[in-house]
Amino acid sequence: MTRTITQAELRNGSAGVMDALEAGEDFVITRNGRPVGELKPISARREMTTAELKALIARIGRNGSGEEERAEIDSAFGEDRLDD
């Protein structure tokens, strides 16, 4: 769930915001009533050996739909996307 907080709430309650981020909560930050940014927790990155990465790359695209490929990539690297 995304919580909306003001710039002042972020400044004055940064420790609580950090705790909530660690717990998985998202924030929209407002200034003068307008949304100006988002804070989201960083997904834990999975450690992968070179051999595992090579095997993953070899599997992707072999058989399956684009959606299946995307799901496999997301499961390995997370769902961070620039342009959805």
User: DSSP 3-state assignment of 64?
Assistant: coil
- Tell me the pLDDT band of 81, cut-offs 50, 70 and 90: low
* pLDDT, tens digit (0-9, with 9 covering 90-100), for 42-57: 876 667 788 888 887 7
Would you say residue 27 lies in a domain? yes
Would you say residue 55 lies in a domain? yes
39 closest CA partner among 52, 55, 20: 20
- Structural domain total, the chain: 2
Do 6 and 35 sit in the same domain of this protein?
Answer: yes
Q: How far apart are the first and last CA of the chain?
A: 20
Arithmetic mean of pLDDT over the chain = 84
- Tell me the pLDDT band of 71, cut-offs 50, 70 and 90: confident
Separation of alpha carbons 53 and 59, rounded Å: 10
Do 35 and 52 sit in the same domain of this protein?
Answer: no
Q: Domain containing 22: what range?
A: 2-39
